[in-house]
Amino acid sequence: MSFENNISALRQTDGELAEILSNRRGVSHVEVVNTKKNIPSLRVNNISLHSLYDPVKEAEAWVKFYKGDIDKEASIYVFGFGLGYHLQELCRVTDRLVTVFEPSIDVLRKAFETVELTSVLSRIKIITDCSIPALNHRFSVLHHKPSVTLNREYFDDIHAKLRSREAIRRGLRILVVSPIYGGSLPVAGYCSSSLIKMGHTVELIDNSRFGDALFYAKDISENRQRYNSMLNHLSSFISEAVTARCETFRPDLVLALAQAPLAAGCLDNLRRKKVTTAYWFVEDFRFMEYWKNIAGHYDFFFTIQKGQFFNELQGAGIKNYHYLPMAACPDIHKPGRLSEDEMKYYGSDLSFVGAGYYNRRQFMRGLLDFDFKIWGSDWDLHSDLARCIQRGGARIDTDEIVKIFNASKININLHSSTYHKGINPFGDFINPRTFEIMACGGFQLTDRRPALDGLFEAGEEIIVFDDLGDLRSKAAYYLDHPEERNMIAQRGRQIVLREHTYENRMKEMIEVIAARGLRQPLWPDEGEEVEGLIEEAGRDSELGKYLYRFPGKRKITLSDITDEISRTEGEISGTEGIFMLMNEFVR
Amino acid sequence: MNELKKEIERPELFNAIRNSITDARFSAKKLAEVFTDNIQPLRMEESENVFVNLSQNIQELDCFMGFMAELREGMRFFDGFGLPPDPISSQGAGMNLFQEMNSSLASKDWIMLSDLIEYELSPLLLREDEWLGSLSDKISEYDA
């Protein structure tokens, strides 16, 4: 009878688990035994989960033992279900949210068969796998010791993940390392600003400052060996600088963007210090094979391709890889009002922004009869495309690119290929331009790629073409239907803002890292207790009130305070000014 | 045998025996108390401290049992003063309990061990204390 009642109660909150428990058959290693009090207890593999004399008294003592933790935090996590005596007692003394982790379906089944639990099942959430709910509050963990002893590995894993979640909720210290140059350089900035918006303390190591040195090395000698040697020295120098900065900044996570020049030794050193490292490889693995040398040195490896790349990563023994497509940065890639002159200068019926790769040079020749502008470098200025190429094939900066996306009636997007004549039929990633045009509210015609399917609804949010003929007819159609064009562009912008911003990507990245467990770095424990400082300054004093803005932090350092001041907009207060001055003295 | 009995009956020896019984009563009560104090941590934690304390308590229990064995031996000369067997040795109660405790220790069944300590060992030690009190009274009567 208990079982039916319990299952029926569970079905109200967790139908899936109710189904699993209903279908479970009993097993011999989970044994219900009678106690001296004539109520049931449980033994698993000959280990008692509850007192064999008085399990209710034991449960009362358990709650009493944890009383402080129960009253302290908003959420309570209990490790171990047993027959639920401790949960019944817990729910009697608190109305807080209770989540119970129990990996043994057999134990749960037995508990449901044996004890009437309906009064608590509406109050608790049961988790049987390794998934951790999002944390919005501080929490307490209460151990049902015999259950924990029986499943030590599982509970150690859950504990580590909860610690990660808690660290993330409080805000991580993240060091973002950019490349020296290239397409992923601005992406490092977008990631950095998104992470700050998410509440993390972020420092961006902008390696573009070494651009001159890199190009100097490139130009100074034709000897490839010498160039590689100089490159290695530069990489060692930057790695040393990153290591030095880590010692001061004490990050929880180091995120490197594609081509960030971090040497293996630096990464191994961070691993020894238990700093979690992640790499976002925003490159085509078929052309940039350097991933083979670096992927294994990072704890997490994020890619813009899956399928074949995942097979290659598996083959190379890499485990923690995860698909993370490109995105847009709505603070940069946004609709904007253009003057009449700007519209005239940047606008056209058709435009293309990007470098003149082989396939593009071939393909774009089929569009010469349109009002067509090509922006970007590496185009053949002596070909018949020359009349479309703007500013003599100069590189275009981001501000102008945004204006072009805004001003063009149709933005063409053709993913690059060095040997196909048009569309690369094997292309399996989406370039940033796809997202950026949409975030600007621009209308886009892009080459068909299977990877688009999971991201956008073709025909509704984006229009794809299969070959030149298809592009020409669709371009003509949409030039004649501006309202339809505008509707699609608006829907495209909405989906990008909702799902495809760098903030979305960083949330996903942090989620992946949290789910697998963020390590606790071995940085020295510095800082002062916030509560103690507030107490010392006086709760109503100016300084005390100021320090209330760090409620999530247990300890703070002077650099935490000055970081916060630097992030805050507006005029600096007197207190803030003193902190900044103190920081200058320290520096 | 008679020589030995005479030796035992010397007043200073009687005093020594009475004193050691007083000590043993204190030990029995103290042991019941410290075992009880450790039950909750044993049920709740798996810390080194809990096991260090447990092992220390078991060593002290062993000493107490050693004393009780000597006492039982000595009491044979007085036909046990007409007292029933002490609770620990009665019907092998102590032996059975220690075997069960050993087996729960070996299988790391800490809940079972806690139960045995809380519901069996501690009350048994307190009953042993009462029995020692009766013995002390009997010795005083005999001495008088």
Q: How far is CA A214 from the centre of its chain?
A: 30
**Strands A40-44 and A139-143, sheet pairing:** unpaired
> Mean per-residue pLDDT for B135-140?
84
Largest CA distance in chain B: 55
Asked if the model's pLDDT at residue A180 lies above 90, the reply is: yes
Helices A224-249 and A264-272 cross at an angle (nearest 10°) of 20
Name the β-bridge partners of A98.
A76, A124
CA A571 – CA A564 distance, rounded (Å): 13
Scanning A281-351, the segments in alpha helix (DSSP H) are 291-294, 308-315, 340-346
Residue with tokens 């045998």: B1
ipTM of this predicted complex? 0.86
Position A28 scores a pLDDT of 74
- Tokens of residue A267, six digits: 């990464």
Position A551 scores a pLDDT of 61
CA A278 – CA A324 distance, rounded (Å): 12
B43 touches chain A (CB under 8 A): yes
pLDDT tens per residue, range A49-67: 999 999 999 999 999 999 9
B45 touches chain A (CB under 8 A): yes
CA B123 – CA A446 distance, rounded (Å): 83
Chain B residues with CB inside 8 Å of A144's CB? none
Long-range Cβ contact pairs of B111-115 (< 8 A, separation 24 or more): B111/A47, B111/A48, B111/A49, B111/A50, B111/A51, B111/A52, B111/A58, B111/A146, B111/B43, B112/A48, B112/A52, B113/B42, B114/A51, B114/B39, B114/B42, B114/B43, B115/A48, B115/A51, B115/A52, B115/A53
pLDDT tens per residue, range A571-582: 888 888 888 888
Position A399 scores a pLDDT of 95
CA A90 – CA A381 distance, rounded (Å): 77
Better-scored residue on pLDDT, A105 or A556: A105
Name the β-bridge partners of A302.
A280, A322
B106 touches chain A (CB under 8 A): no
Range ranked top by mean pLDDT from A74-78, A465-469, A528-532: A465-469
> Mean per-residue pLDDT for A326-354?
97
Position A63 scores a pLDDT of 96
B110–A149 C-beta distance less than 8 A: yes
- Determine the residue of chain A that is closest to B44 in CA distance: A145
Range ranked top by mean pLDDT from A69-83, A132-146, A374-388: A374-388
- Determine the residue of chain B that is closest to A64 in CA distance: B40
> Mean per-residue pLDDT for B76-101?
83
Q: Which of A34-43, A124-133, A457-466 has the lowest mean pLDDT?
A: A124-133
A48–B111 C-beta distance less than 8 A: yes
pLDDT band per the 50, 70, 90 thresholds, residue A74: confident
Calculate how close chain B gets to A64, using CA atoms only, in Å: 11
Scanning A94-210, the segments in alpha helix (DSSP H) are 105-114, 118-121, 145-150, 152-170, 184-197
Across the interface, of B43, B46, B107, the residue whose CB is closest to A58 is: B43
**Strands A75-79 and A139-143, sheet pairing:** parallel
Chain A residues with CB inside 8 Å of B118's CB? 53
- Determine the residue of chain B that is closest to A66 in CA distance: B44
For residue A406, the one-letter residue type is N
> Mean per-residue pLDDT for A74-103?
94
Asked if the model's pLDDT at residue A263 lies above 70, the reply is: yes
Give the SS3 label for residue A27: coil
pLDDT averaged over every residue in chain B: 86
- Residue A211 makes CB contacts below 8 A (sequence gap 6+) with A180, A181
10 Å CB burial of residue A587 (0-12, 13-18, 19+) is exposed
pLDDT band per the 50, 70, 90 thresholds, residue A552: low
Q: Which of A54-68, A418-432, A545-559, B111-125 has the lowest mean pLDDT?
A: A545-559
CA B102 – CA A571 distance, rounded (Å): 72
Q: Which of A139-153, A384-398, A433-447, B3-17 has the lowest mean pLDDT?
A: B3-17
Calculate how close chain B gets to A67, using CA atoms only, in Å: 13
Position B136 scores a pLDDT of 86
pLDDT band per the 50, 70, 90 thresholds, residue A537: confident
pLDDT band per the 50, 70, 90 thresholds, residue A587: low
B46–A149 C-beta distance less than 8 A: yes
| Residue B134 CB neighbour total at 10 angstroms | 13
B110 touches chain A (CB under 8 A): yes
B107–A49 C-beta distance less than 8 A: no
**Angle, CA A41 vertex, CA A36 and CA A43 arms, to 5°:** 120
CA B103 – CA B116 distance, rounded (Å): 11
Number of helices and strands (H, E) in chain A?
A: 26, 20
B107–A51 C-beta distance less than 8 A: no
- Please give the C-alpha separations between residue B104 and each of B92, B111, B116, B117, in angstroms, as whole numbers: 18, 9, 9, 11
Position A558 scores a pLDDT of 81
- Residue B99 makes CB contacts below 8 A (sequence gap 6+) with none
B137 touches chain A (CB under 8 A): no
10 Å CB burial of residue A57 (0-12, 13-18, 19+) is middle
Position B77 scores a pLDDT of 73
Position B9 scores a pLDDT of 63
Asked if the model's pLDDT at residue B128 lies above 70, the reply is: yes
Position A377 scores a pLDDT of 94
Asked if the model's pLDDT at residue B51 lies above 70, the reply is: yes
Domains observed in chain A: 2-169 (3.40.50), 171-323 (3.40.50.2000), 340-500 (3.40.50.2000), 528-586 (no CATH)
For residue A261, the one-letter residue type is P
- Residue A307 makes CB contacts below 8 A (sequence gap 6+) with A428
| Residue B109 CB neighbour total at 10 angstroms | 22
- C-alpha dihedral sign at A431, A433, A438, A443: negative
Asked if the model's pLDDT at residue A149 lies above 80, the reply is: yes
| Size of the A and B interface in Cβ pairs below 8 Å | 42
Q: Which of A146-155, A210-219, A576-585 has the lowest mean pLDDT?
A: A576-585
> Mean per-residue pLDDT for A362-384?
95
Counting residues of chain A whose pLDDT is more than 70, the rounded percentage is: 98
Residue with tokens 């890292």: A513
- Residue B133 makes CB contacts below 8 A (sequence gap 6+) with B25
Q: DSSP labels for A107-124?
A: HHHHHHHHS--HHHHTTE
For chain B, helix, strand, coil in percent to 5 are 90, 0, 10
Q: Which of A7-11, A291-295, B48-52 has the lowest mean pLDDT?
A: B48-52
Position A572 scores a pLDDT of 83
Position B13 scores a pLDDT of 73
10 Å CB burial of residue A580 (0-12, 13-18, 19+) is middle
> Mean per-residue pLDDT for B49-59?
90
- The closest alpha carbon to A100, from A113, A118, A115, A88, belongs to A88
Chain B residues with CB inside 8 Å of A149's CB? 46, 108, 110
B38 touches chain A (CB under 8 A): no
Asked if the model's pLDDT at residue B35 lies above 90, the reply is: yes
pLDDT tens per residue, range A218-256: 888 888 899 999 999 999 999 999 999 999 899 999 999
Chain A residues with CB inside 8 Å of B103's CB? none
pLDDT averaged over every residue in chain A: 92
Range ranked top by mean pLDDT from A530-544, A566-580, B24-38: B24-38
> Mean per-residue pLDDT for A551-570?
74
B139 touches chain A (CB under 8 A): no
Position A553 scores a pLDDT of 63
For chain A, helix, strand, coil in percent to 5 are 50, 15, 35
- The closest alpha carbon to A453, from A475, A435, A430, belongs to A430
Better-scored residue on pLDDT, A560 or A231: A231
Q: How far is CA A468 from the centre of its chain?
A: 37
- Tokens of residue B46, six digits: 């798996």
Asked if the model's pLDDT at residue B4 lies above 70, the reply is: no
A117 touches chain B (CB under 8 A): no
pLDDT band per the 50, 70, 90 thresholds, residue A458: very high
Strands (E), A437-570: 444-447, 463-465, 528-529, 555-556
Calculate how close chain A gets to B100, using CA atoms only, in Å: 13
Calculate how close chain B gets to A155, using CA atoms only, in Å: 14
Contact call for residues A350 and A369 (beta carbons, < 8 A) = no
Name the β-bridge partners of A251.
none
- Determine the residue of chain B that is closest to A142 in CA distance: B44
Position A518 scores a pLDDT of 84
Give the SS3 label for residue A499: helix
| Radius of gyration over every alpha carbon of chain B, rounded to an integer in angstroms | 17
Contact call for residues A197 and A503 (beta carbons, < 8 A) = yes
Position A582 scores a pLDDT of 85
Across the interface, of B44, B107, B111, the residue whose CB is closest to A50 is: B111
**Strands A276-281 and A300-303, sheet pairing:** parallel
CA A39 – CA B14 distance, rounded (Å): 51
- Please give the C-alpha separations between residue B79 and each of A167, B67, B72, B75, in angstroms, as whole numbers: 72, 18, 10, 6
